Amino acid sequence: MLRNLAEITELDVLLFAESGAVSKRVQELFINPIIISGIKSLFVIHEHLFQDIYSWAEKARVVEINKGGKQFFPTSRFNTAFNYIDNLFFEYKKIKETDKERIANQLAEILDNINYLHPFREGNGRTQREFIRLLALEKGWLLHLNPPDNANVYER
């Protein structure tokens, strides 16, 4: 159970509260999208989405985590990963808005690297999807990344 601002101790209740709060914050980003300026924007998005639930929103994890036995990026190497993802972002910014294939490929590359990085204790997927959606929006593209079957998507 993750420490939370409401001091909720039941997992189902926390998941319900988190879902409602984050859905509201996602809607705010649809109405007032932020401009992505690099990896730091990922942390801004995380804080925005989870500010009502976790005091540690926007803070990078300090523990090693895994999912399904697959280890995420080690915290000791975060700065290297941040620089790498920023380089991917700067390459993305150079792509013309009309080059849909290059945009899609670069967004996929960025998403793959951010997913492996998994910088937060909770909320990585939702934060990543907003980050990528906002990047696509900056090029004039609408992107829907809320798959109904997350387990299947994760495995692929």
pLDDT tens, residue by residue, 3-12: 999 999 999 9
Note the pTM of the prediction, 2 decimals.
0.90
For residue 35, being part of any structural domain is answered with yes
Query: How many CA atoms within 13 Å lie on the side-chain side of 70?
Result: 8
Region of poorest pLDDT, from 94-98, 108-112, 143-147: 143-147
Q: Name the pairing type of β-strands 66-67 and 70-71.
A: antiparallel
* pLDDT value of position 156: 53
For residue 52, being part of any structural domain is answered with yes
Range of the domain at 47: 11-155
Q: Residue 91 is part of a domain; what is its CATH number?
A: 1.10.3290.10
The C-alpha angle with vertex 129 and arms to 18 and 125, in degrees rounded to 5, equals 55
Q: How many whole angstroms separate alpha carbon 58 and alpha carbon 44?
A: 6
Q: How many domains is the chain built from?
A: 1
For residue 130, being part of any structural domain is answered with yes
First to last CA, the chain: 28
Residue 18 has pLDDT above 70, yes or no: yes
**Tokens linked to 153:** 């998507």
Residue 154 has pLDDT above 70, yes or no: no
Residue 47 has pLDDT above 90, yes or no: yes
